[in-house]
Amino acid sequence: MATSLIDLRADDPDSWQTVTLPGSNLPVRLRRLHADPETKASVSLVRFPAGWRRPITGYYSAAEEFVVLDGAIEVIATHGPGEYVYLPPRTVRVNTNSPSGALVVAYFSQAPKWDEGTPANPPSAEPVYGRPTGVMRESTAEVRGGFRAVDYLPAEPLPTDSDILYLDEQTWEWVPAGAVPSGRGPALVRSWA
């Protein structure tokens, strides 16, 4: 089973759409990389323009995780290039912004539905953020799959559907269970099982 690397620096205008996130002041550009038709989980490349902000308080019922490729975005702290952020379902966000703009690879565990205010049920875990090293997130009953940083990927089939981000090259690939990744590493691996 063959996989193909996607160059995240390539600017193919036909693959981008303009989307205004609820409560935000400016639209973002979004390039869908993969979506699961059953769970509605998705991974996308998102470009936040300089001056983007969402001044309201709210949360997603889905888990969100992202890696910053370029620029900076403030969510839990100010997150810059190479940083990883995991926001469990129902994590409250207050005044999210990107003064200089940012390019991120973002994953949602299900269809992202934004709600204003604070949730009736708090998140079941704390956010995780920083430079990705080792296991950053384990699979749980609420958020299936995991996220880990590896120095090397062997030329062997992966046991689960995974998406892989090669941060140094700024390339990405979807690798179905049983397929062999194109690259060897270092890599950030998100399993979907």
For 10-72, the three-class secondary structure string (H helix, E strand, C coil) is CCCHHHCEEECCCCCCCCEEEEEEEECCCCCCEEEEEEECCCEEEEEEEEECCCEEEEEEEEC
Whether residues 88 and 148 share a domain: the answer is no
Whether residues 161 and 106 share a domain: the answer is no
pLDDT, residue 4, reads 81
Give, rounded to a whole angstrom, the gap between the first and last alpha carbons of the chain: 19
pLDDT per residue as tens digits for the range 175-186: 999 999 998 889
The verdict on residue 97 lying in a domain is yes
The verdict on residue 1 lying in a domain is no
pLDDT per residue as tens digits for the range 19-35: 999 999 999 999 999 99
Domain holding 159, by residue range, is 137-191
pLDDT per residue as tens digits for the range 90-144: 999 999 999 999 999 999 999 999 999 999 999 999 999 999 999 999 999 999 9
Structure tokens at 19: 């989307």
Angle (nearest 5°) at CA 139 between 134 and 143: 125
* Of the candidates 16, 6, 99, the residue with the CA atom closest to the CA atom of residue 52: 99
Whether residues 100 and 53 share a domain: the answer is yes
The verdict on residue 63 lying in a domain is yes
Cis omega (within 30 of 0) on the bond before 186?
yes
Residue 186 to residue 153: CA distance in whole angstroms: 8
pLDDT, residue 11, reads 78
pLDDT per residue as tens digits for the range 165-175: 999 999 999 99
Residue 120 to residue 52: CA distance in whole angstroms: 28
